[in-house]
Structure 1
Amino acid sequence: MTSLRPGLRKGRGALSNIESRFDNWDRAHDDDALAAILELEGERPAPKTTVAFEDAKSIISRNQSPDVPFDQSINAYRGCEHGCSYCFARPTHAYLGLSPGLDFETKLTAKPNAAVLLEKELSKRTYIPSVIALGTNTDPYQPIEREHQLTRRILEVLEAFNHPVAITTKSHLVTRDIDILSRMAEKGLARVYLSVTTLDAELARRMEPRASTPSRRVDAIRMLTAAGIPTGVLAAPMIPALNDYELENILSATANAGASAAAYVLLRLPLEVHDIFIEWLEQHYPGRKNHVLSIIESMRDGKHYDAEFGRRMRGTGIFSELIAKRFELACNRLGLNQERRKLRTDLFQAPINPSPQGSLF
């Protein structure tokens, strides 16, 4: 892997541009040359974010996974600037010929025709409405959304069609769209989950460097709830010996802010994420590395990852069962998950475009 020295990538989660599973060659830096450059130039600047544009051919992704409560999703961006060290979506960057490491959080792709494609898809006579999820792969409110506003344009289309949407994000930027989401929520068409991994600002800065701070995410829950938008918390991922002890505090803080629902997911380390996260652990929490990995192995039948449906999100074994019981007890105590209404699909209809000839009906 191409690894740079600590301190050279401020605000980034991955420490290197690890090779992908499709590469057939390896790279390594020259320590002596790098030391000479640093002596002359000082610290290198952090890698800058670049955005490429893609005219997508389709925009709705469909799945049949029994582990997720939706079968349709939209990702208007490839890659995610939040830079979460544990992000399970990192391996998708390998399909672009890029690294799931630093490239995933610095070389992004935007789909500017996303809203237009969505409108065409929803207008088809054969389309059958079901909840569309935003934020299933990369965050729909990552920093570049401020400029490109692809998520907002998607919401405008969904509102026009009275189409249900479920959003998951780590960003306070979701509150920018309270105007649309509150109108949709009044009709039973919108729900938002804030992903809160930790309440520790320092841990969040290291682990999710460009996501909103934990306090800002809790504040977003408060603002969304006040606007009448059903809002929940996703405590994910729970990482043994690192943030799992915070589970009850996360649920309590977000319930006090107005969250009515909650869910959690245990750490997943598929494909290249495995080495990226272990490298991150070695850099930031070397004393905990072996303990973290040993508990992960106890939850994954001696492995670091188990991709089997029904087990990949929750794991198995004593630690997994303990997390599940703690979650259940905390939710009961805080009144979370008491009632969850399904988002409506019966209001769906294509908007009527005014015609110069008028209408006969």
Structure 2
Amino acid sequence: MVVHGRGAQSGAVPSRFGLAARDTDGDWLDAREQVDGAESKLRTTVTIERPRSILSFNKSPDIPFDRSVNAYRGCEHGCIYCYARPTHAFHDLSPGLDFETKLFAKPDAAKLLRETLAKPGYAPAPIAMGTNTDPYQPIERSYRITRSVLELCLELRHPVTITTKSARVLDDLDLLAELARLNLTAVGVSVTSLDPKLSATLEPRASSPAKRLDALGKLVAAGVPVHVSVSPIIPSITDEFLEDILDEAASRGVRSASWIMVRLPHEVAPLFREWLETHFPERAGKVMAIVQSVRGGKDNDADFFTRMKPTGVWADLIRNRFRVACRKHGIGRAQIDLDCSQFRKPSRNGQLDLF
């Protein structure tokens, strides 16, 4: 049975943390519909989370930032390939359907961030948003946590970057335009395909490809530095759109781009296999064979320095296609050089320091 409107097709809890498996008795499955009626549609729930801190630091050599803010845990976009899915297992929840239906919101994010930025010795550097779950997933329209963080960054003149696959980023165009005027922000929009039907199964609650491209154009027109990420590329599923995505982005004034091969850490691999068997059974074996060929024969490479650098014939082919298409359209690499010198540290009582 296909779970419509969601990326994952199951909600199994992983065993790597020793959690109890969730199994439904076979006899009960036969009688459930007669007793309870048809199974109800999956609904999204949101739990308020009150963390002690909001700014996370990393020392990874594979990513261009060392700190990030994640306003939400879990993501309703439901992208089947999302590498953040395994984080839900830490809460005894499924990286599958739970990840996209049982969400956590952190409404104190801006308050916690202000407290961190006020600490003695804090040195500013761009804060990345959208590195784990999307800051503009549907619930942002109600909670406005991402907006509150951007308001704080504008107030304190702190640089911040956004990565999203949602046209809802335009809801904050006023803030982003002002941050851009001060050289304090850059926005990356991920576009995976140009086929709305494919997108509806691959990333069912993200903005359509057309809306993402429209958002790119409006960000450019507002003077916001923008970047298109053709990511992730799934061999024999989305790679055919590579050149056309770059063509569409360039026509809207985008001048920097990147690509990432699909990554399948931990529970993402079996969930992705299940998705392939559901939607593309005729090529599931081929897709996984290519994925393994660029990851040293494994579903995923988790090692520093190599995890973001696929190898082999297929990886070289995509790399060369990307290079040629970028050269054709005058697109270069992202050059994020935001201004940290304007930062105004708040005092410990919440006000700005004068000196």
Check 1:120–1:353 CA distance in 2 against 1; reply closer, same or farther (3 A cut): closer
Cα distance, 1:167 vs. partner? Answer: 0.5
Residue identity matched to 2:138: P
Match of 1:263 in 2: 258
2:1 maps to 1:13 = no
| 1:298 maps to which of 290, 293, 303 | 293
Contact 1:18 1:276 survives alignment (8 Å): no
The residue correspondences of 1:30-69 to structure 2 (distance < 5 A) are 30=25, 33-34=28-29, 36-38=31-33, 43-69=38-64
Match of 1:176 in 2: 171
TM normalised by structure 1 equals 0.92
Cα distance, 1:309 vs. partner? Answer: 2.0
Residue identity matched to 2:6: R
Cα distance, 1:23 vs. partner? Answer: 3.6
Report the 3-state secondary structure (helix = DSSP H, G, I; strand = E; otherwise coil) of the residue aligned with 2:68: strand
| Aligned alpha-carbon RMSD (Å) | 2.2
Match of 1:244 in 2: 239
Give the whole-Å Cα distance in 2 for the aligned partners of 1:223 and 1:360: 36
Give the whole-Å Cα distance in 1 for the aligned partners of 2:325 and 2:96: 35
TM normalised by structure 2 equals 0.94
Which one is further off, 345-354 or 162-171?
Answer: 345-354
Residue identity matched to 1:256: S
Cα distance, 1:297 vs. partner? Answer: 1.5
Give the whole-Å Cα distance in 2 for the aligned partners of 1:40 and 1:347: 64
Contact 1:59 1:118 survives alignment (8 Å): yes
| 2:69 maps to which of 67, 74, 83 | 74
Residue identity matched to 1:200: D
Which one is further off, 143-152 or 328-337?
Answer: 328-337
Match of 1:129 in 2: 124
Give the whole-Å Cα distance in 2 for the aligned partners of 1:235 and 1:32: 46
The residue correspondences of 1:137-156 to structure 2 (distance < 5 A) are 137-156=132-151
Report the 3-state secondary structure (helix = DSSP H, G, I; strand = E; otherwise coil) of the residue aligned with 2:194: coil
Give the whole-Å Cα distance in 2 for the aligned partners of 1:134 and 1:107: 20
Deviations 1:314-334 (A, max 9, x none): 311111111111111111111
Cα distance, 1:261 vs. partner? Answer: 1.1
Cα distance, 1:182 vs. partner? Answer: 0.4
Give the whole-Å Cα distance in 1 for the aligned partners of 2:134 and 2:282: 31
Match of 2:78 in 1: 83
Check 1:314–1:246 CA distance in 2 against 1; reply closer, same or farther (3 A cut): farther
Cα distance, 1:27 vs. partner? Answer: 3.5
Contact 1:10 1:46 survives alignment (8 Å): no
Contact 1:160 1:350 survives alignment (8 Å): no
Cα distance, 1:44 vs. partner? Answer: 2.6
Contact 2:243 2:322 survives alignment (8 Å): yes
Contact 1:11 1:46 survives alignment (8 Å): no
| 1:287 maps to which of 267, 282, 286 | 282
Give the whole-Å Cα distance in 2 for the aligned partners of 1:55 and 1:324: 43
| 1:318 maps to which of 303, 313, 316 | 313
Report the 3-state secondary structure (helix = DSSP H, G, I; strand = E; otherwise coil) of the residue aligned with 1:194: strand
